[in-house]
Structure 1
Amino acid sequence: MPSLLLLFFLPLHFSSAAHQTLPPEIAAACNATRFPDQCASSISQSNRLLQNPTPLQIIQAALYLSSENLKTAKSMVKAILDSAEKIPNRNRTAAALSCMDALGYSEYRISLSNDAIPLGRIKDARAWLSASLLYQTGCRSGLKYVNDTHEVDQTMSFLDNLTVLSSNALSMVVAYDNFGNETAAWLPPRTERDGFWEHSSGTGEVVRGVRIPAKTEVNVTVCKDGSEGCYRTVQAAVEAAPGESAVRFVIHIKEGVYEESVRVGIEKKNLVFLGDGMGKTVITGSLSVGQPGISTYNSATVGVLGDGFIASELTIQNTAGPDVHQAVAFRSDSDLSIIHNCEFISNQDTLYAHSLRQFYNSCRILGNVDFIFGNSASFFLNCHILVRPHPLNPQLGDENPITAHGRTDPAQSTGFVFQNCLLNGTEEFMALYYANPQRHRTFLGRPWKEYSRTVFIHCELEALVSSSGWMPWSGDIGLNTLYYGEFENFGTGSNSSKRVAWSNQIPAEHAFSYSIQNFIQGNEWIPSS
């Protein structure tokens, strides 16, 4: 086992006297983290720092610690896999394989961040490190369901330590972004709930005009009849696309219903799915957590990892039904992705906006429980969000939280922003609602994780939205740390007089913090109108 495993046995508390012996720059940087004692104990043993290090050198030392411990975590998960092969255990093998993938993605994003920070690409680094931390916590969460051996238990404990190191590195990057080189001014991560909004650039309208990249030459075509020069499946066309492409590779998916699961690997960058219209080009699947070995993550009909993904003019659905619980239609881990004029249909967990920066424009999203969820920084503009009935027994009534954002750390630059969107029900749902409003209640969201963040700006909220607006997840989890905001919404469901006490009306002077420009840096990668 690599010697860095010794970091697992470092004391969780570092004496204040020892803390005072640290160089002042390092002590100040560690004080800007959520876990300053662990920060001091780990960095004090680093051999990567020179005397009187600069803030950037301290950050890079913290990233190095996270990266090296990540390698150790991967080796520990590999040992779990090896053990599962000797004594077959399907669930443990599946969890360990998913964990290995997640740690690989985490490692990739840390590497990108380490290269970006010296170049001044701090917003990119924050987005990537937010995702890196998400993948680590996701790995750990998956293992807890198969924690039936000492090996798994020890790995989970090591992952706990790893997430502390990664959180501290992310906090330092956030402090550097907000306060610059003056480490004495650095503070631990704060959120809007603490009355803190980051500096926002630009003035004027909250929403800027956008356009989708003009249609370019089609590289390959998918069609149902498999005619000459045409792929029969979307997956075959994806596999034909080059890896690590710096230019768009356009896949035209002709009208038809394609029954398949589609996976876009992390190496498939700048891929474009161009359909013939919502309801005409349809990609459909039926995987769900109700089937053996299927997790929420891999239940997706279409799952995308490669950055720069674009989809336009198509429908993606999951027909598994509500009796099998989570059944994802579309899952995205694609940074700088654009989804335009697309439709997503399922029941619970329709759209898994899992990580990184995503932009949805003029889309239709249909579901009934937590049907927009994840821990990405996603912006929804001009979208129709529609609640569907529960087909099993819709007369019994239901509670439908639309969103479930999953931010676990206040330093993560993630959240959901809805602007100029319509929140309503399908005709079938509204018929049930008007027949008995108390049986069919809809909420803007609930906190999947402690630092859940979701805001609605200039949205039309129809009558189905409950007067309380938001619902808890379980007890008081997240209610003191989440940020749920509304600004200048309208419609019957927008009356804020009876909203829950733990939601907020966004101050007008801070509304621009949630612009496309500020929230996802869209002015740098979304073509303007």
Structure 2
Amino acid sequence: MSASMKMITSICEGTSYKEMCARSLESAAKNSSATAKDYLLAAIHATVEEVKKGLEATGKVSVNKEADRSSHLAVEECKNFLDSALDSLNDTITSVMDSTTHTLEERAHELLSWVTAVHALHTTCLEFITNPEIKSAVENGINNATQLAHNAVNIIADLPEILSLFGLSNNDESSPSPSPSPSRRRLLLTDDGFPTWFSAADRKLLGKHNKGGGGSKGNKNKNNDHNGKDNTVYVANIANIKPNVVVAKDGSGNFKRISEAIAAYPANNNGRFIIYVKAGVYDEQVIIDKKKPNIFMYGDGIGKTIVTGNRIAGKNLDPSTTFSNEAFGFIARGMTFRNEAGPQGHRAVAFRSKGDKVALFDCSFEGNQDTFYYQVLRQFYRNCVIYGTIDFIFGKGDAVIQDSDIIVRKPMPNQFNTITADGKDIEKGSNGLVLHHCRIRPDNYLYPVRFDIKTYLGRPWSANALTVFMKCELADFIRPEGFRVWDNAQNHKTCQMFEFGNTGPGNKTDRRDSKNFSHWRVISPEEAAKYTPGQFIMGHDWLPQTGFPNRLGL
């Protein structure tokens, strides 16, 4: 084989759709002096072109809006997902173009997250469509794009090996220093409790947490759980912040509705756009679209500033969600997001996010089934409260929930509870869910019958689901087998369910269902370190340069 064909064969070796991979790299192979960067760009550009074709094909799918409203909404949502996928790919191209070959590996974790989101958006698009004929038409239109996105994830995940093909190994003085696999999610906190990718101004804006993780003194709100302890959540005193707009039900602000405040986001805004939502119950569906990045929204505290609704899947545009964020850099603090459809509402989301670098503090997410949807991309939640019944923490993003209370509610008769449902699609993708230093317990209504209703730590939404419970406190109602299989699927055979350092009477690891969940295990400290905040963002490579203290341990 020619040198270029050998290069294509080597790069495509780790992909699942090798013939399509080879065709996508042909443009780079024609250039005898092509670099690793050129091959990577060729793979991404090919994916972009197929996503555009998929978007065009989906637009041609005919759905009678009046006769089949559910399918019409699903197809419209599918178009939205594909459009978001294009944004992620364009961000990836820009990042690769701005990189030198030697800095590509340093950006690999970010590139992997973006491209993994592209594939996740494609698969989620199809999951929304229930009409077989319409689903088949959309699937045929986006099939090539889905496969190329799958290939791109594997190529970026194998970037260190690909760089070595070009003589750029980690042993070279000109190459990046050794780093963990880019397929691991990376998130690091500074000592004041915020991700290190927050600017100094953002950390000052949000206020500092005390050692108890509850924030500086301010409004108190007690969680509705049964454990005999005072689980008070403190909302930081942010009285000195000057918001851009104020929302107030009583008319004392600029607007009476949150949606109106978001609509006031100025064109070509630079910097943080701050929205203060005064105490009150705001019964409205809120959507922050992708063209409104860097919004900071804060309220008067959990149980005081409440965004609510009773939306059920299939009955509204963005079918079931009370509050949706699609923008980069969204931050919120001191708010309650609620879906009041009840357990009979089935899929009824209180909060959904598919924006990158999203962080929420001191917030409550209240619902039953599918309460909290970490849809795609990187997300961080600290000192929050999440309520629900079935699969109530679910998604395909890269989510870390830390120092939070997970409150399980009473489901409908003959139902069970599953706390998590991760949907990681690709083994080498960046998706996964980590619960770190969280407290898991029943609410007051479930408590008396907590042993009669089966409650599991989670179940795998997809074959490559990744869920990690680290140093969490598990109450006595957690089933000893720990996890439940997904009905009519074989996901339990390949998913990864890990535990480390958990405590409490529900921590019965000697009785976990390791027969069905063959990859479940209590991981070692060395392996657990891969899921700690420090390694999730390659903090050992760049954190010392930020000037912030290091907190990399378990």
What TM-score bracket applies, with the shorter chain setting the length? 0.7 to 0.9
In 2: Cα distance, 1:268 partner to 1:422 partner: 34
2:246 alignment counterpart: 221
2:375 to 324, 344, 354: 354
For 1:226, the aligned partner's letter is: G
Shift of 1:442: 1.1
Shift of 1:515: 1.7
Secondary structure at 2:526 match in 1: helix
Cα distance change of structure 1 residues 521 and 257 upon mapping to structure 2, 3 Å threshold: farther
Instruction: Give the structure 1 partner of residue 530 of structure 2.
Output: 513
Over aligned residues, Cα RMSD in angstroms?
2.9
User: Does structure 1 retain, via aligned residues, the 8 Å contact 2:35–2:166?
Assistant: no
Kindly provide the amino acid, as one letter, of the partner of residue 198 in structure 1: S
Q: How does 1:334-353 map to 2 (within 5 A)?
A: 334-353=355-374
Mapping for residues 279-318 of structure 1, pairs under 5 Å: 279-289=303-313, 292=315, 298-318=319-339
2:135 matches 1:114: no
Partner of 1:38 in structure 2?
A: 20
Q: Is the 2:36–2:162 contact (alpha carbons within 8 Å) kept by the matching residues of 1?
A: no
Of the candidates 133, 140, 145, which is equivalent to residue 126 of structure 2? Answer: 140
1:172 maps onto 2:193 in alignment = no
Question: For this pair of structures, how many residues does the alignment match?
Answer: 481
Paired position in structure 2 for 1:480: 493
Percent identity over the alignment? 29
Instruction: Quote the Cα distance in structure 1 between the aligned partners of 2:370 and 2:537.
Output: 23
* Alpha-carbon distance between aligned partners in 2 of 1:317 and 1:520, rounded to the nearest angstrom: 31
Which whole-Å deviations, capped at 9, do the CAs of 1:10-58 have from their partners, x for residues lacking one?
A: xxxxxxxxx98962111100002122233224434x4784125322211
**Equivalent residue in structure 2 for 1:60, among 41, 54, 61:** 41
Q: What is the distance in 1 between the residues matched to 2:28 and 2:508? A: 58
- Which of 432, 443, 454 is the equivalent residue of 1:415? 432
Q: TM-score, normalised by structure 1?
A: 0.84
- Higher helix content, 1 or 2: 1
Match of 1:274, SS state, is strand
2 CA distance for matches of 1:39 and 1:208? 41
Q: Which amino acid aligns with 1:134?
A: A
| C-alpha contact 2:4 2:32 (8 A) present in aligned 1 | no
Taking a change above 3 Å as real, the CA distance of residues 85 and 468 of structure 1, as seen in their structure-2 partners, is closer
Equivalents in 1 of 2:300, 2:538: separation in Å?
29
2:436 paired with 1:427:
no
Alignment match of 2:142 (pick from 145, 159, 166):
159
The equivalent residue for 2:459 is: 446
In 2, Cα distance between the equivalents of 1:467 and 1:317?
Answer: 30
Map of 1:272 onto structure 2? 296
Structure 2 unaligned spans of 5+: 170-179, 195-202, 206-240
The unaligned stretches of length 5 or more in structure 1 are 1-18, 187-196
Aligned to 1:7: none
Separation of aligned partners in 2, 1:210 and 1:406? 31
**C-alpha displacement of 1:132:** 1.1
For residue 389 of structure 1, what is the aligned residue in structure 2? 410
Deviates more, 1:462-471 or 1:93-102: 93-102
1:179, distance to aligned residue in structure 2 (A): 6.0
CA–CA distance in 2 between the matches of 1:221 and 1:527?
A: 33
Kindly indicate whether the alpha-carbon contact (under 8 Å) linking 1:253 and 1:273 is maintained by their aligned counterparts in 2.
yes
Whole-angstrom distance in 2 between the partners of 1:113 and 1:133: 14
- The answer to whether the 8 Å contact 1:243/1:269 transfers is no
Taking a change above 3 Å as real, the CA distance of residues 86 and 307 of structure 1, as seen in their structure-2 partners, is closer
- Tell me the equivalent position of 2:284: 260
Question: What aligned pairs does 1:81-92 form with structure 2 within 5 A after superposition?
Answer: 83-84=62-63, 89-92=68-71
Q: Deviations over 1:57-104 (max 9, x none)?
A: 111111111100111111111111xx3369964333222211111110
In 2, the alpha carbon distance for the partners of 1:90 and 1:313 equals 36
Q: Deviations over 1:485-520 (max 9, x none)?
A: 000111001120011112111121121211223325
- The residue type equivalent to 1:466 in the other structure is R
Give, in angstroms, the shift of residue 411 of structure 1.
2.4
CA displacement at 1:184 relative to structure 2? 9.6
**Residues 507 and 183 of structure 1, relative CA distance in 2, 3 Å threshold:** farther
CA distance in 2: counterparts of 1:35 and 1:487, whole angstroms: 35
Cα separation, 1, equivalents of 2:140 and 2:113: 26
The superposition leaves residues 406-436 of structure 1 with CA deviations (integer Å, 9 ceiling, x where unpaired) of 1111122011111110011112211221xxx
Q: Counterpart of 2:422?
A: 405
* CA distance in structure 2 between the aligned counterparts of 1:417 and 1:445, rounded to whole angstroms: 12
Other-structure match for 2:213: none
Aligned partners of 1:70, 1:389: CA distance in 2, in Å?
42
Moved more, 469-478 or 404-413: 469-478
Q: Which moved more, 1:23-32 or 1:83-92?
A: 83-92
Give the equivalent residue in structure 1 for 2:9: 27
For residues 354 and 59 of structure 2, the distance between their equivalents in structure 1, rounded to whole angstroms, comes to 23
